[in-house]
Amino acid sequence: MSSLRFATRRITSRIGAALQRMHANARAGSAAIEFAMIAPVFFLLLMGIMENGIIYFAGATLQNATDDVSRQIRTGQVQALGMTQAQFRTAICNEIAPLLACDSNLQIDVESYNNYSTAGFVPPTDVSGNLKTTLNNYSPGNACDVVLVRSFYTWKVITPMLSTFLTNITGGYHLVSATSAFRNEPFVNGLPGC
């Protein structure tokens, strides 16, 4: 009888040890399964945060380029050199080149007015949310004129499922814009201050 008890205890202990090993192995795979369930959401949010940061950086880059090149209008360099619209566009493109492509996505609008009371601007988008293609004026103005320089860049949003949160115009694009408004300096000799 004691040998039967001994055999029973031995079998019971082996089954218990096997069950413990099976239970331990079952827990080891649970982390991988949990990560597989969470990973798509995590990477989607991470990609959205990265793209939003890049769009913000693109906006800062475009604003800096617009301000720098607009200064040439304000000081009369553009007028003195007879800079054309294509040359003005190239000057902005040279400053945004590492981050933004200088292609049909970039649109530049330069308008001049006699004074601030006559200054105005049209919204860059139409009622459907499309960027207006007519915003490509080039009028740097004369000494003491009020000038409005606007640059627009349509950024294609690539983050899936979050594009509704990152787009602000139709077609899956985010409109990055920069504006510089100023009065030209009295750069003509003999002209009194404005």
Give the residue carrying structure tokens 């492509």: 101
pLDDT of 47: 93
Which has the higher per-residue pLDDT, 11 or 99? 99
pLDDT (mean) for 172-189: 91
Question: What is the rounded distance in angstroms from the CA atom of residue 186 to the CA atom of residue 191?
Answer: 6
Q: What pLDDT, in 10s, does the model give residues 9-38?
A: 777 777 777 767 666 555 667 778 888 899
Which of 141, 140, 108, 113 minimizes the C-alpha distance to 124? 108
Residue type, 100: L
**E strand residue ranges, the chain:** 106-113, 146-156, 173-183
Q: What pLDDT, in 10s, does the model give residues 41-78?
A: 999 999 999 999 999 999 999 999 999 999 999 999 99
The model's pTM is 0.79
Three-class secondary structure of residue 66 per DSSP: helix
